[in-house]
């Protein structure tokens, strides 16, 4: 009976199946009102959110997919607002950058607008080298209870440390324990007043189970006051896409096997 119900969901209600595949959040979404200093957006942030969840994959896979360009498009397209996406060029900056001279790691910096010559000169200083993946994403935002839909173009960067990635891929999690396991997502919209988002992701192996990873997100951003309630709500809801990661990663080319409230189901991908 349960298998029949799951088969029906796969064929006729795939969105309901997706909902049952989501793991329960380990820490509830919470908004906070104190921006980190120095401010990561200009004007200073006026919407905030943070979140933490445990995903059922090892640290290397979590960091590679959620923290680098390897999985960036897949993760962004999980948003119900996303209607277009394009990866652009990559470049490298070195911390600290001019706008954040004390920032020695991504969570202390904002690097979207930094020039490749802004940071410490190559070969000098102890600043971390950061890879930036530039991208554009189009979102279709419903307004007035969905009566009007507005297209918004976002331009941004996803930034991470290749040193961390190399350590994870060569020697495993232990080699990266002394490095900040972080990735930084930054965007600005071409319209709607230039909404800015600064989102840092932190990764930590779960000591009790090396097959799981805790991913924490912190969002700070700026929005015109009229749009702030909408943007705040979307910021809090946006954390849920980290939870989808366990779902999309467990796909294989032939069959995916996922646990849901009604049992294990198998279905073609």
State how far the Cα of 142 lies from the Cα of 187, in Å rounded to an integer: 20
Q: Which two three-digit tokens encode residue 198?
A: 């600064």
pLDDT tens profile 233-257: 878 776 556 655 555 554 432 233 3
- Chain centroid to Cα 200, Å, comes to 8
Of 121, 75, 61, 68, which Cα lies nearest the Cα of 90?
68
**Residues with pLDDT less than 70, the chain:** 1-33, 119-126, 146, 171-177, 238-269
pTM above 0.85, yes or no: no
pLDDT tens profile 162-195: 888 888 887 655 555 677 899 999 999 998 789 9
| 256 assigned to some structural domain | no
Whichever domain contains 221, its CATH number is: 3.30.530.20
Q: Which domain holds residue 194?
A: 30-250
| 100 assigned to some structural domain | yes
| 14 assigned to some structural domain | no
Domain total for the chain? 1
| 147 assigned to some structural domain | yes
| 234 assigned to some structural domain | yes
């Amino acid at each position: 009976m349960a298998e029949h119900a799951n088969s029906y969901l796969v064929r006729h209600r795939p969105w309901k199946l997706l909902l049952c595949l989501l793991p329960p959040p380990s820490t509830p979404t919470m908004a906070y009102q104190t921006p980190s200093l120095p401010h990561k957006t200009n004007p200073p942030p006026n919407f905030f959110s943070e979140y933490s969840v445990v995903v059922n994959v090892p640290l290397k896979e979590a960091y590679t997919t959620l923290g680098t360009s390897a999985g960036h498009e897949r993760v962004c397209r999980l948003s119900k607002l996303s209607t277009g996406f394009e990866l652009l060029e990559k470049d490298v900056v070195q911390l600290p950058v001019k706008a954040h001279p004390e920032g020695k790691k991504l969570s202390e910096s904002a690097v979207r607008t930094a020039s490749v010559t802004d940071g410490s000169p190559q070969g000098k200083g102890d600043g971390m080298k950061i890879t930036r993946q530039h991208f554009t994403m189009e979102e279709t935002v419903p307004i007035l209870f969905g009566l009007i839909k507005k297209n918004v173009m976002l331009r941004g960067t996803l930034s991470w440390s290749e040193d961390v990635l190399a350590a994870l891929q060569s020697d495993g999690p232990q080699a990266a324990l002394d490095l900040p396991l972080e990735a930084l997502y930054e965007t600005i919209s071409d319209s709607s007043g230039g909404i800015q988002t600064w989102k840092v992701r932190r990764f930590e192996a779960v000591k009790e189970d090396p097959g799981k990873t805790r991913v924490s997100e912190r969002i700070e951003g700026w929005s015109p006051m009229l749009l702030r309630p909408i943007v705040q709500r979307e910021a809090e809801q946006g954390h849920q896409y980290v939870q989808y990661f366990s779902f999309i990663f467990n796909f294989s080319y032939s069959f995916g096997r996922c646990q849901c409230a009604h049992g294990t189901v198998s279905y073609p991908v």
